[in-house]
Structure 1
Amino acid sequence: MSESAFSLPEETDTVRSALIEWYEEGHREFPWRETTDPYEILVSEVMSQQTQLDRVVAAFADFVERWPDVERLAAADRSAVVGFWSDHSLGYNNRARYLHEAAGQVLAEFDGEFPDDPDELQQLQGVGPYTANAVASFAFDNGNAVVDTNVKRVLYRAFGVPDEDTAFEEAAEELMPAGESRTWNNAIMELGGVACTKTPACDEVDCPWRAWCEAYATGDFSAPDVPTQSPFEGSRRQFRGRIVRVLGEYDELALSELGPRVRVDYTPEGEHGQEWLRGLLADLEDDGLVALDTDDAETSVWLRDG
């Protein structure tokens, strides 16, 4: 282990299950997620490097229609492959040359069968550690934990993993269930791509890690690729908005029920406890957005009509 200080939740199995269930209930659909063909997955991974996924989808379909397997790609004229790359605005034409050469290597050095081990996959031209691990994971379910920019952002925000490659790798490996690299890596990358984006969408997409997430609790959503905290993140305005969204789901809530739904670290006597919550509600009451009933033993609150 490194000397970097970070602590993953003790209920690791629950954390894992929450993410996998969230992913399986509804994730973005991409054609390369519907196949375990290592050739198609390699094509998608090479195309996706520094290219927006919406542009990759169309290019991927056209590419595999024109060169549907490694044999036909290897037999293609390299200039045609490079021309395709340029025509589809995929950038960095050397990636097209590398992909074409890698296809030839699979035929010449591996008898037409893709290796299933990340180390062996790195022998292919233009295939670095990340791409090799992705192909091993998604094609053969035989990879290590993927650590890309999105995954680093998730681990940094959720569990306070320091901005060090070794720490990210250790945390990612510790979290990944043994023998489930295909599902797990897809799931945690989806979390970073949909929920834990540079501008997070925690509540909007029902992030499954909110109960454990340090950033969600504190409102500080800075990250290695988000060096400065947005003025909105962690602000009273952000939490007032969260109160309104929560109350929109319920007819009426007691403060003891509302508080934990607004902040997972809510404790009545804590720094972000009942006094803090009452201050936010006073602002919303002044704005005519909520009403409070203090007649009962416990204050309750609801959204005003209109």
Structure 2
Amino acid sequence: MTDGAVDGDERSAWTLPDDVDAVRDALVAWYEAGHRDFPWRRTDDPYEILVSEVMSQQTQLARVADAFHAFLDEWPTTAALAAADRADVVGFWSAHSLGYNNRAKYLHEAARQVEEEYGGEFPESPGELSELMGVGPYTANAVASFAFDNGDAVVDTNVKRVLYRAFDVPDDDDAFEAAANELMPEGESEVWNNAVMELGGVACGKTPDCDDADCPWREWCAAYASGDFSAPDVPEQPAFEGSRRQKRGRAVGALREHGELALDDLGPIVRVDYAPDGEFGREWLRGLLGDLADDGLVEVEDRGEETVARLAR
């Protein structure tokens, strides 16, 4: 076995099999023999991959596929998206229940950056991609990997669960990143990252399906040998239905459809139990709109006895 460690006050060690090449080959062969067919796996266009990655952040993939096609039909290139009205982009996000409308704002701004700062050509390294608005390290690395085969190992919830179970990698972000990069074959980030995330999504989910999914790592997997399929402590994604994210989306959608609305006209659209002076009344709605205003999505104006809201221009 090979050892890995992370620097810090406490050194977290893990073990990888001695025949790492066999581990790699088994996973890639399993992936290439058959995997889920998502539309973003059929392209190496960095714009399309960025759209898919931003849409997939804390959003179920079942909602992403249809929205992905519709978005690209509306704005097929960074030039088209950059030229779009931001309110239309935010409205699309809300209409497709993608949650967190500020992601639409950031995607719109990132398209403008690509057009204005990079001459319409995407940067290719994770570091440069991280300079785009709203693109964090994970998304930058994913785009670099899937568009340019130029990334480090991607570490998401699925990957953490696989590494934790298979190789006893401790529940530590630095340890996960180090182990993932040690496992990834050099210069093969595109196929490797797709494969290891597929393993976590299909064979090594919350409830593992090792034998039926023909998991390629069973002979090396510590969890398979012991029967202990515990997983890292990952916060659960809150349900969208009834959430504040949903209410934000309704507010944006209503303002897009109706234009300027007074609070008492907007409130009943956002939630059926709206009562002007109640618990979920004007003050609650002001707080919701204040959050959206902080994100640059709406504008709120007091006009004497009346307060109105509209999408930010």
TM-score under structure 1 normalisation?
0.73
Aligned mates of 1:223, 1:31 — CA distance in 2? 29
Q: Which whole-Å CA distance do the structure 1 matches of 2:52 and 2:215 have between them?
A: 26
Question: How far, CA to CA, are the matches of 1:46 and 1:204 in structure 2?
Answer: 31
Matches within 5 A, 1:198-217: 198-217=206-225
Partner of 2:41: 33
Contact 2:162 2:204 in 1 (8 A): yes
Residues 171 and 233, structure 2, Cα contact 8 Å, conserved in 1: no
Distance 2:112 2:232 in 1: 38
* Aligned residue runs from structure 1 range 1-306, under 5 A: 1-2=5-6, 3-225=11-233
SS at match of 2:15: coil
Letter in 2 for 1:130: Y
Shift of 1:204: 1.2
Structure 1 residues 116 and 226, CA gap change in structure 2 (3 angstroms)? closer
Letter in 2 for 1:175: L
Q: Which structure 1 residue ranges, 4+ long, deviate > 2 Å from structure 2?
A: none
In the alignment, is the contact (CA less than 8 A) between 1:198 and 1:226 conserved in 2?
Answer: no
Provide the C-alpha distance between the structure 1 equivalents of 2:194 and 2:103, rounded to a whole number of angstroms: 23
Q: Which amino acid aligns with 2:70?
A: D
CA–CA distance in 1 between the matches of 2:131 and 2:37?
A: 30
Distance 1:102-1:189 versus aligned 2 partners, 3 A rule:
same
- Asked if the contact 2:157–2:234 (Cα under 8 Å) also holds between the matched residues in 1, the reply is no
Give per-residue Cα distances to partners, 1:192-220, cap 9 Å, x unaligned.
01111011111110000000000011110
Indicate if the aligned counterparts of 2:184 and 2:192 stay in contact, CA closer than 8 A: yes
Give CA-to-partner distance per residue, 1:228-273, whole Å, 9 cap, x none. xxxxxxxxxxxxxxxxxxxxxxxxxxxxxxxxxxxxxxxxxxxxxx
Matches of 1:67 and 1:226, distance apart in 2: 35
Kindly, what percent of the aligned residue pairs are identical? 74
Q: Secondary structure at the match of 1:212?
A: coil
Distance in 2, matches of 1:203 and 1:71, equals: 47
Gaps of 5+ in 1: 228-306
Q: Distance in 2 between matches of 1:154 and 1:198?
A: 10
**SS in structure 1 at match of 2:164:** helix
Contact between 2:125 and 2:150, CA under 8 Å: does it hold in 1?
yes
SS at match of 2:55: helix
Query: What code does the residue aligned with 2:166 have?
Result: A
Secondary structure of the residue aligned to 1:7 is strand
Name the structure, 1 or 2, with higher relative contact order (CA <8 Å, separation 6+).
2
1:86–1:93 Cα contact (<8 Å) kept: yes
Check conservation: 2:210, 2:218, Cα contact below 8 A.
yes
CA distance in 2, matches of 1:159, 1:145: 16
Report the counterpart of residue 247 of structure 1 in structure 2: none
Aligned to 2:305: none
Number of aligned residues: 227
Give TM-score, length-normalised by structure 2.
0.72
SS of the aligned residue for 1:217 comes to helix
Deviation at 1:226, TM superposition (A): 7.0
**Aligned alpha-carbon RMSD (Å):** 1.0
Contact 2:82/2:111 (CA < 8 Å) preserved in 1?
A: yes
Larger Rg: 1 or 2?
1
Tell me the amino acid that sits aligned with residue 139 of structure 1. Answer: A
For 1:203 and 1:18, the matched residues in 2 are separated by 15
Over 3 Å counting, the alpha-carbon distance change for 1:95 and 1:165 in structure 2 is same
Q: Secondary structure of the residue that 1:198 maps to in structure 2?
A: coil
Q: What is the rounded CA distance, in whole Å, between the counterparts of 1:205 and 1:150 in structure 2? A: 15
